[in-house]
Chains A and B, each alone.
Chain A
Amino acid sequence: MLQTPVQPTTQLPPSRHEFAEIIHRLEAGGAMLPDTPENLKQIIGIYKAYAVPMDFYWRDLLYIAERVFLDPTPFFKYFLPPEYLDLPNHYAGDDADLRIWRGEADAHPELRAFLETGELKRKLPRLLHHLWHDRINMEFAEACMQSMFWHQEMGGRFNDFLDSEAYRQNCDRAIKAYFQGNPVMLGLYKLFPEMFIEQVRQRSYYANLGLFWEVMAPVFFEMCDRYTEGSLTSVPEAMNFLVDGIFAVAGRPIYHHVYIRGECYEIIPKSQGFTWLYEAALPYVEAVFYRVSPFRGTRSYNAQVGQVPKDQRDFHYGILYADIFPVGSAGVPPTLLMQDMLHFLPEFLREDYLQHCRGEDDMLIQLGVSFQRSMYCVTSAVIQALRTALYYPLDDSNPKHLEANRRFFEAQLDRFKRPEARLGDIQRQDYR
């Protein structure tokens, strides 16, 4: 399907950027993803399929951060207790802080059904489902967490605080309380305090990502509902819904509380003033959409000959750059997510996939490509949100302001000039 080129609506001369057309589209209030009904169907379907496992991810991430904590043998960390399935989402249900999704605040019904019977559609002991790998792939969520933990320097104050004296003292109290009456672990803590604190830092990132996704799940559910109702009808509308969502919850606190024997230990108190936008969302996008780290799939990398960049800032292995094909054939985290989403695909998207490429056989790849499209839409929302926060309205009358907007968009799109970036691919409808 060919898009009619977007005419620049501003008084500026046309951009001479490699992706000039996309820049003009952004300046006209559009997304990096072309506005076609097919694209809208794909991204909305994927948001819904993503939101259901995400509803599990955020609950389990918080469960691990708050309850499992430093358990040296966390064999059952993926076995979510009922309290966490019932845990009310802050952005759904009647008692929401800010009601984004009109649905219920506890775990999504499809998620509960899947946890009961799994892919096998059989009610077996949970351990058997787990061992058969018929479950939500939490490894994907942990891989995202590790990526944020590893890349660290991505803006916000979160990481700086993890090295502060206040943080160490909070950790110390929690660690001592957690291992109370366990001389072995306490002895180890005495010997290797850094090791324990580093583990707590990781748990803090569990909390961070859990709180981030707690927001995204209802956002995606609401988008799917609006699409089904017919009140969300174009890609820019979808993007703008995300932009509004980003602003609406930007001030949501990011914190890390640990519950030990009924008592709450504030490792990172809310009073630190950490916000969802600065300490979770932006680092997440940077770490997971852009950077991540090379997965050993069918493609192998040789760091000795410089195939992996020296500088972490130059890492570009995220979903915006990922080669979906080999990923689909190797047991690496993105494949796990695709497998998770496959279980919750809405019927309209499933039927669509059955009619293209290899149908059932390569649905994971088709789904992965749709996921890539949908994440380009999310990234567009982030870019537009940053433009709103830091730059000027698209209809600003001051040409200098428009010039500043253009420079911002061009700088953002410069990151997609790399040959492996998929921005060019997602412009084509036949990229599947």
Chain B
Amino acid sequence: MPNIVDIAVSNDAFKTLVAAVQAAGLVETLQGPGPFTVFAPTDEAFAKLPPGTVQTLVQNPPQLARILTYHVVSGKFMQTDMATVNALTSVEGAPIRVDASDGFEVNNATVISADIEADNGVIHVIDTVILMG
């Protein structure tokens, strides 16, 4: 089974995400054993951010890494696992609000494709870049 990075790279919807992960130097980590739960924003999600946002982040890998790690939770959580939880703690450290009771929402993002299983975790595709509160 492919790992998280492989899945992302092979999918055309994650070009920005892949570039960002590379710029932040997180490729190796995400290829590691994990397991991880990754909320993966699509290119459209990144495009919704105001102009310049991504540019500044890409220029500053540590800051970019912090935003990206907010999208990662250590441990493998499928949609059904999250039905009973309100929040998860991200790798960044800040909590992520989760609502899988009616639909599947993470913070202010909606999961458009859930439970894409990888070798070292699971990917949930989201339509909005989530940010720490």
Report A's interface with B, CB cutoff 8 A: 97-98, 157, 243-244, 247-253, 270-275, 278, 388-392, 401
Contact indicator B62/A273 (Cβ below 8 Å): yes
Chain B positions within 8 Å of A243 at CB level:
50
10 A-B residue pairs with CB within 8 Å: A98-B56, A247-B52, A248-B51, A251-B57, A251-B59, A251-B64, A252-B60, A253-B63, A273-B63, A390-B107
Q: Which residue of the partner chain A has the closest CB to B92?
A: A273
List residues of chain B with CB within 8 A of the CB of A391: 108
Indicate whether B53 reaches chain A with its CB closer than 8 angstroms: yes
Is B50 a contact of A244 with CB atoms below 8 Å?
yes
B interface residues, tally (CB under 8 Å): 22
Q: A278-B132, A390-B131, A391-B108 are in contact. Are A251 and B65 (CB under 8 A)?
A: no
**Contacting A392 at CB < 8 Å: which of B50, B108, B131?**
B108
Is B80 close to A, CB under 8 A? no
Chain B residue at smallest Cβ distance from A246: B50
Query: How far in angstroms is the closest Cβ of chain A from B52?
Result: 3
Chain B residues packing against A (C-beta within 8 Å) = 49-53, 55-57, 59-60, 62-67, 93, 107-108, 131-133
Interfacial chain B residues near A275, Cβ < 8 Å: 63, 66
A249 adjacent to B52 (CB under 8 Å): yes
Instruction: Choose among B55, B56, B60, B62 the residue with the greatest number of A CB atoms under 10 Å from its CB.
Output: B56
Closest chain B residue, CB of each to CB of A247: B50
Inside 8 A of A157's CB, which chain B residues have their CB? 93
* CB-based nearest A residue for B132: A278
Across the A-B interface, the 4 shortest Cβ-Cβ residue pairs: A248-B52, A251-B57, A247-B50, A273-B66
By a CB distance below 8 angstroms, the chain B residues around A390 are 107-108, 131, 133
B87 → A minimal CB distance (Å): 14
Our pick among B55, B62, B93, B107 for the contact of A98 (Cβ within 8 Å) is: B55
Q: Which residue of B lies closest to A98 (CB)?
A: B52
A251 to B132, CA, bound (A): 12
With A251-B57, A253-B63, A278-B132 as known contacts, state yes or no: A244 contacts B52, CB within 8 Å: yes
Most buried by B among A251, A390, A392: A251
Closest B residue to A252 by beta carbon equals: B56
CB neighbours (8 Å) of A270 from chain B are 60, 62
A91 vs chain B, min Cβ distance (A): 10
Q: Is B56 touching A251 in the complex (CB atoms < 8 A)?
A: yes
16 extra A-B contacts, CB within 8 A, seeds A247-B50, A248-B52, A252-B60 = A98-B56, A157-B93, A243-B50, A247-B49, A248-B51, A248-B56, A250-B56, A250-B57, A251-B53, A251-B56, A251-B59, A253-B63, A272-B62, A273-B62, A388-B50, A390-B133
